[in-house]
Chain A
Amino acid sequence: MSHVTMTDMPHMPAQGAHFDRARLAQWLIFVVTAALMLAPALPILLQVFVDRPLYAQDWQFTLGNITDIFRSERVGQVAATTGLFAVFSVIIAQVLGISAALLIGRTDMPGRKLMGDVLMWPLYLSHLIFALGWVVMYGPSGFVTQAIAQQSSAPWNLYSIGGMSLVAGISQAPLAYLYCLYGAVRSVDSSLESAARTVGAGPLQVLRWVTLPLMVPSIITSTALNLVIAVETLSIPLFLGRPARIETLSAFLYGEGIASSSPNHGLVAASSLLLMMLVGSTLVLQRILLRQGHRYETVKGKGSRPMPLGLGRLRWPLAALTALILLVTVVVPISGIFLRAFTTFLSPLIPLSKVLTLNNFSKLFADEANIRAIVNTVEISLISAALGTALAVAVALVVQRSTFRFTGTLEALAYSPRVVPGLITGLGVFYAAIILPPMGWLRGNIGIIVVAYVMATLPLALGVIQPAIVQVSRDLDKAARTVGADWTGAMRIVMIPLLRPALLGSFILLFVFHLKSYVIAIFLMAPGLEVMGVSMLSLWTNGEVGLLAAFASLQIVMIAVLLVLARILFKVKIYD
């Protein structure tokens, strides 16, 4: 090999063209993201200030919608109910989740691994399915309620704010559990706890003075997330609240925007804005609270698994208590769905053998719309998960690994769906398809639902991919640049292959999420465009509980199979 000067370098990669290609790609990603995020949001904002539906002729600007909201007693009451329900359910979720994280992640409680797995079930299922299970078993005419009521009067009323909060709280406990488990319990350097032991703290005092305080950021983050989810959840208020005339914002939106024969779009848009502001302020509050984050930063210790804390005599009683809670709140409701699916009528007064039937399933499959819903759901979920993952990795790479000028704006845009509840994403896409000509061609095909899904779950996918990018040394893509790859080349040749596990994880997470989703597509439904979640919601509205239970069982099995396959085939565990 001999020295060659630059001017007569053979085979230098072309210069100008490559530079342009990288910038072009970055701008393209930026424009696509911005369009996707803003197209649904702007029409809602517009609708707030317009006196009739956007699709009507001759609309005029008005502030009437906003004054309507503040004047309406109903909206005030709805907002208060929403707040109460959200706070109660978050308290339940956090108490359960944090205790579970400590007990399962930190102690020698027998059976903790199995119980940890069971605790996760509600997270894999939609609120709709979980609420159904509770209604079937613990509702006023539920199996368990009736069994107890034979002796005395009904011991509880599930159709109350308390009941709603309990169901929502239990279905959100896994999220609190996960954040505390992986954010703190598992990642805290065990020598911090050992240090507390050396200065004289007993096992429980260690939990109280070291472990729990270090969990504060995880607790704040999961509290904020659960608050947001409680505010936007629809099926729990619809299933449990409506019969007792308890109305939350999401149920109000659903009632005014979908169920009503003449939707008041101005009011719907204005209350959507109210909802978004509620959610947004929660997230702002979270940021403010986490500003002192360095106080909780711990130097991560390598290797040594922390010694589990001995519970001593409390070992078995605590295990029994935890198992009982899980049995009653998770296992029984989910079993109830399967039980109901295979019976004509579920009551403790009639022996099971007399009501067993496959009728629900044959009826389910007899209706072509239901088959279509299943096919559509799988198709939409696959496409959305693939597109969503592709967009997320593109956005994340521009944000984290490029010199693009507007990375801050891009990241803010990409995370903006966090403040937009799913119901409203659907509404926004619906409006956008009406007034924005280029989106019109999406009307009437599954594309419109795909757009809504990709938008709504971009933050979720980024949440999986961004931490994975941080793990890849910057030197690796810089090295690719020095041997002649431009930005796009370095990303394609080096980054994407290294991110493959994260991309797979993101794909499966999105796929499951879309499979169980029922809220986002509500406003986008049209004949031929059915998806499972929305079909299930209308089965409930029509009182077809048996059919619904059969449909729900089917969805549970689909998700379970998918998760098991992912674990076996790709060694991917979502939510890890």
Chain B
Amino acid sequence: MTELVLKNVSRRYGNTLAIDKVNITVANGEFLTLLGPSGCGKSTTLSTIAGLDRPTGGSISFGDNVLFDAEDGTFLQPEARGFGVVFQSYALWPHMTVEGNVGLGLKLRKIPAAERNKRISEVLDLVGLGPLAKRYPGELSGGQQQRVALARAIVFRPPLLLLDEPLSNLDAQLRQQARVWLKDIQRELGLTTIYVTHDQDEALAMSDRIVVMRSGKIVQLGTPQEIYRTPVHPFVASFIGNANLIEVTGGAAAQAGGCDVRLADGQVIRAQTPLGNLNAGKQLLAVRPHLISCTKADNASEVAVEFGMENYLGDHFEQVVRVAGTEMRLSLDEPRPRGGGKIWIRNEDAMVFEAER
């Protein structure tokens, strides 16, 4: 079974570690997303897989082939890896037609013209650009360019498809459509895919598994549901689902399960810790804005707060509440009057993590 395996892959630029001992295994046919804020190392990781960047440590293998090994200095050049890559900028060659862009990979593989033309028109039909084969990239819209970039990457039937934020240059509506379309093609071709994005919605909607990265390290690896429902790190909770992070104090807890934490003003919130491993003292409480309720709920802690500013966001309001010298965001259908009030947080929605060192 063909598997991509990254073992302790590191990339150092001078004194900074762009990626730090990253371990990932990608199964055949899987859609894996590298998710994180800019500068987290996700694009660097993708570049090392593509062979466009040479790691400074670790090893990468694909099936039986070693692509990179820091120990013995093995490094397979990108052209010898044969992976399809879609660049964030699309990187279409402006001096070649759509056909020329898509066909170069086949030409370099010395595929005869007849077969080549057949494959080019096949793949252009697949991405819905058949009639535009003779156009130049400069004559295409952003969405069309993005499709050419994909066609160019899959036309030579790569065993692995690498996508670096391919949708980030599209406007919001087009991005939604392209997401569905891209996922359909991936499923249809059964392509093993690694996808880099900073957009949590994209990641949740498309992936089989998500790797959340921060500062060059993997923070969590799991299915979209696992990542969203049971984040193992406050960063994951806040990055995916915009959870409020509040400093609290609490007792030690070795196992996962229920626990109590105390806000700075002494109010107690009944919560649960997904990992355990808590030391007594400073801890972090994560609560998602839309899970905070302004009406009494069962199995919930009641918290006295001060309602503040609201912002109208179209389908809902976001309102700020002040509590114990800090702020939380609430997602509400209707804003509450400013001033004193109460909110309820259900025990299962309040997640406690060890404070970040």
Q: Which residues of A contact B (CB under 8 A)?
A: 1-7, 9-13, 15, 18-19, 22, 403, 473, 475-476, 478-487, 489, 493-494, 497-498
Q: Name the residue of chain A whose CB is nearest to the CB of B2.
A: A5
Instruction: Report B76 CB to chain A, min CB distance, Å.
Output: 7
CA distance A483 to B51 in the complex (A): 12
What CA separation (Å) do A283 and B285 show in the bound complex? Answer: 60
Given the known inter-chain contacts A9-B82, A478-B52, please indicate yes or no for A3 contacting B190, CB distance below 8 A.
yes
- Is B89 part of the binding interface, using a Cβ–Cβ cutoff of 8 Å? yes
A489 touches B78 (CB 8 A): no
When the two chains form their complex, are residues B93 and A6 in contact, meaning their CB atoms are under 8 A apart? Answer: no
17 new A-B contacts, CB < 8 A, other than A493-B104, A498-B95, are: A3-B29, A5-B63, A6-B62, A13-B80, A15-B77, A19-B80, A473-B91, A475-B91, A478-B78, A479-B91, A480-B93, A481-B78, A483-B84, A483-B105, A484-B79, A484-B109, A494-B93
Return A177 CB to nearest CB of chain B, in Å.
33
Complex CA–CA separation, A10 to B106 (angstroms): 11
The docked-state distance in angstroms from the alpha carbon of A494 to that of B152 is 15
State in angstroms the CA–CA spacing of A1 and B106 once bound together. Answer: 14
Shortest distance from the beta carbon of B305 to any chain A beta carbon, whole Å: 43
User: What are 29 A-B contacts with C-beta separation under 8 Å?
Assistant: A1-B123, A1-B154, A3-B190, A3-B191, A4-B157, A6-B62, A6-B160, A9-B157, A9-B159, A10-B109, A12-B109, A13-B108, A15-B77, A18-B79, A19-B80, A403-B54, A473-B91, A475-B89, A475-B90, A478-B52, A478-B78, A479-B91, A480-B104, A481-B51, A482-B52, A483-B79, A483-B105, A483-B153, A484-B104
Whether a CB of chain A sits under 8 angstroms from the CB of B356 is no
Q: Report the bound CA distance from A389 to B63 in whole Å.
A: 45
- Shortest C-beta distance, A471 to chain B (Å), equals 11
- Min Cβ gap A487→B in Å is 8
For window 36-70 of B, CB contacts with A under 8 Å fall at 50-52, 54, 62-65
Complex CA–CA separation, A487 to B154 (angstroms): 21
Q: When the two chains form their complex, are residues B111 and A5 in contact, meaning their CB atoms are under 8 A apart? A: no
Shortest beta-carbon distance, B116 to chain A, in Å? 11
Kindly state whether residue B351 has any CB partner on chain A within 8 Å: no
**In the complex, which of the residues B126, B152, B156 has the most CB atoms of chain A within 10 Å of its own CB atom?**
B156
In the complex, A355→B191 CA distance in Å? 87
Closest residue of A by beta carbon distance from B47? A478
Bound-state CA distance A7–B80 (Å) is: 12
* Complex CA–CA separation, A5 to B83 (angstroms): 11
Known A-B contacts A3-B157, A6-B62, A19-B80; A483 and B104 likewise in contact (beta carbons under 8 Å): yes
B337 at the A/B interface (Cβ < 8 Å)?
no
Q: B110 contacts the other chain (Cβ, under 8 Å)?
A: yes
**Residues in chain B near residue A479, CB distance under 8 A:** 85, 87, 91-93, 152
- Do A482 and B63 touch (CB < 8 A)? no
Knowing A1-B189, A481-B52 are in contact, say whether A13-B65 is a contact too (CB < 8 A): no
Residue of A nearest to B149 (CB): A479
Q: How far is it, in angstroms, between the C-alpha of A2 and the C-alpha of B192 when the chains are bound? A: 12
Asked whether B94 is an interface residue with its Cβ less than 8 Å from the other chain, the reply is yes
Which residues in A have their C-beta under 8 angstroms from that of B77?
Answer: 15, 18-19, 22, 481, 486-487
Residues of A within 8 A of B334 (CB): none
The answer on a CB contact under 8 Å between A478 and B91 is yes
Contacts A3-B190, A5-B2, A475-B89 hold; do A498 and B94 have CB atoms under 8 A apart?
Answer: yes
Instruction: List, in ascending order, chain A residues with CB within 8 A of B156's CB.
Output: 11, 483-484
Chain A residues with Cβ below 8 Å from B63 are: 5-7
Report whether over half of chain B's contact residues are helix, strand or loop; otherwise say mixed: loop
Residues of chain B contacted by A497 (CB below 8 angstroms): 95
Tell me if A484 and B108 are in contact (CB < 8 A).
yes
Task: Give the interface of B toward A (CB within 8 A).
Answer: 2, 29, 50-52, 54, 62-65, 76-85, 87-95, 104-105, 108-111, 122-123, 126, 152-154, 156-157, 159-160, 189-192
Q: Which residue of B lies closest to A6 (CB)?
A: B159
Say yes or no: A485-B157 contact (C-beta < 8 A), given A6-B63, A6-B65: no
Complex: chain A residue closest to B115, CB-CB: A11
Nearest A residue to B105 by beta-carbon distance? A483
Give the residue of B80, B91, B93 whose beta carbon is less than 8 angstroms from that of A15. B80
Of the candidates B85, B109, B152, B192, the one whose C-beta lies within 8 Å of that of A11 is: B109
Alpha-carbon distance A12/B110, docked complex (angstroms)? 9
Partner of A482, one of B54, B62, B110, B153: B153
Max chain A C-beta neighbours (<10 A), residue from B62, B105, B123, B126 = B105
Write the nearest CB–CB distance from B222 to chain A, whole angstroms: 25
* A2 contacts B189, C-beta separation under 8 Å: yes
In-complex Cβ contact of B110 among A11, A19, A403, A476 (8 A):
A11
User: CA of A481 to CA of B53 in the docked complex: distance in angstroms?
Assistant: 12
Known: A1-B189, A11-B111, A475-B87. A6 touches B95 (CB 8 A): no
From B29, B64, B88, B93, residue with most partner A Cβ within 10 Å: B93
Q: How far is the CA of A498 from the CA of B94 in the complex (A)?
A: 8
The chain B residue with its CB closest to the CB of A19 is B77
CB distance from B56 to the nearest CB of A (A): 14
Q: Which residue of A lies closest to B51 (CB)?
A: A481
CB <8 Å contact, B80 and A18: yes
Query: Among the listed A4, A482, A486, A487, which residue makes an inter-chain contact with B83, where contact means beta carbons less than 8 Å apart?
Result: A482
7 A-B pairs with least C-beta separation:
A483-B105, A475-B91, A11-B109, A479-B91, A482-B85, A484-B108, A15-B80
Return the chain B residue nearest A500 by Cβ.
B95
- Docked CA distance A12–B108 (Å): 9
Q: Which residues of A contact B93 (CB under 8 A)?
A: 476, 479-480, 493-494, 498
Nearest Cβ distance between residue B18 and chain A, in whole angstroms?
A: 16
| B159 contacts across to A, CB distance below 8 A | 3-6, 9
Chain B residues closer than 8 Å to A473, beta-carbon distance: 89, 91
B-side contacts of A9, CB under 8 Å = 82, 157, 159
CA distance A28 to B159 in the complex (A): 35
Task: With A3-B190, A476-B91, A479-B85 as known contacts, state yes or no: A485 contacts B79, CB within 8 Å.
Answer: yes
A-side contacts of B192, CB under 8 Å: 3
